[in-house]
Amino acid sequence: MEEKRARLFSAVQPSGIPTIANYIGAIKNWVDLQDKYECIYSIADLHTLTVKQVPATLRQRTLELIALYLACGVDPEKSTVFVQSHVPCHAELTWILNTITYPGELARMTQYKDKSRNHADNVNMGLMDYPVLMAADILLYNAEVVPVGKDQKQHLEIARDLAERFNNRYSPTFAVPEGIIPKVGANIMSLQDPAHKMSKSDPNENAFISMNDDRDTIIRKFKRAVTDSESRVAFDENRAGISNLVSIYSVFSGKTFAEIEKQFEGVGYGEFKIEVAEAVASTICPINERKNEYLANKAYLDKIMIEGKERAEYMARKMLAKVYKNVGLYTPERKS
């Protein structure tokens, strides 16, 4: 008999074109996790509304993100792939969880504080409630495992607290999720300012490699990457720029730091940068081609989304019914 696998949930927001940092930190790992866990991968479109979006762009990015998932190797036969807003239970469970969440614990969140500062003209309740919606995403599927980057660790903590709080206040209902942090190599920094994380919202386009960049753009951006004057290819904490390039090369070539240092002994930065760019391009470009093929077949993407929604909603409805019952909401039964 097949062993029952633990359930895993993760999601990315369709709020911009993902960078290689998003790919390495999230989607690339998802592909391998599919064989180990029962995976549910979502597109967190409701979360993006917490900052201003252009409606037509949001719709297009949702399509692009699902095409990217598929192009990277997320397999809708193995995993449940769906768009958050297609399953209304996420918003419904958020309401219930809101009634056991304290404003103080949300106001303390680092991301909330950062975003309220960066979007001072649009500090809204959704921005504050963001972690509760994320908790609903996870708890709705009784997910035991959640792969998250460092920046989402605090939010996962809230999800764990809410699960426990609910179970204590009412009756045992939710699994308490565990986070798994992706292995090393996940810390990809800006190419222009290696003290900061690579970010898709960086105003300087040379700071990041987007999953949409073509080979020439990738080479041009790596050529311009900030390094130092020592000119020795090595991972060295005091030289953040070259260390970042070594990390990126390691992830994309599968070579260890030691192997890379040996291979590039006596080789200049210029030549090394081209090698890094080639390694990245040889992964990214074929993904991009497949993504564009999917995008050209909108009917297929719609079909995948609808099937994913049906599978996700089946699980979510069952869970939400249990929650409604356990909090004391009356459910009428049809007798005839």
The one-letter amino acid at 268: G
- Annotated active-site residue in 4, 113, 115, 318: 115
Under rule CB under 6 A, which residues in 147-166 are in contact with ligand TRP?
148, 152
- Annotated active-site residue in 28, 113, 153, 200: 200
- The Cα–Cα gap between 26 and 10 comes to 9
- 44 makes contact with ligand TRP (CB under 6 A): yes
- Reduced 3-state DSSP string for the chain: CCCCCCEEEEEECCCCCCEHHHHHHHHHHHHHHCCCCEEEEEECHHHHCCCCCCHHHHHHHHHHHHHHHHHHCCCCCCCEEEEHHHCCHHHHHHHHHHCCCCHHHHHCCHHHHHHHHHCHHHCCHHHHHHHHHHHHHHHCCCCCEEECCHHHHHHHHHHHHHHHHHHHHCCCCCCCCEEECCCCCCCCECCCCCCCECCCCCCCHHHCCECCCCHHHHHHHHHCCCCCCCCCCCCCCCCHHHHHHHHHHHHHHCCCHHHHHHHCCCCCHHHHHHHHHHHHHHHHHHHHHHHHHHHCCHHHHHHHHHHHHHHHHHHHHHHHHHHHHHHCCCCCCCCC
- Annotated active-site residue in 28, 197, 221, 273: 197
C-beta of 251: minimal distance to ligand TRP in Å? 19
C-beta of 83: minimal distance to ligand TRP in Å? 12
Contacting residue, 7, 13, 67, 221, with ligand TRP by CB under 6 A: 13
160 or 273: CB nearest ligand TRP:
160
| Segment interacting with ligand TRP, rule: CB under 6 A, options 132-140, 161-169, 235-243, 274-282 | 132-140
Residue 115 is a catalytic residue? yes
- 276 makes contact with ligand TRP (CB under 6 A): no
Residue 197 is a catalytic residue? yes
- 65 makes contact with ligand TRP (CB under 6 A): no
Site for ligand TRP (CB under 6 A): how many residues? Answer: 13
Contacting residue, 146, 225, 233, 301, with ligand TRP by CB under 6 A: 146
Contacting residue, 67, 138, 245, 320, with ligand TRP by CB under 6 A: 138
146 or 280: CB nearest ligand TRP:
146
Contacting residue, 28, 47, 115, 273, with ligand TRP by CB under 6 A: 47
- 134 makes contact with ligand TRP (CB under 6 A): yes
Tokens, residue 6: 């633990």
| Segment interacting with ligand TRP, rule: CB under 6 A, options 115-123, 144-152, 182-190, 261-269 | 144-152
C-beta of 95: minimal distance to ligand TRP in Å? 17
* Residues near ligand TRP, by CB under 6 A: 9-13, 44, 47, 134, 137-138, 146, 148, 152
Residues annotated as part of the active site: 115, 197, 200
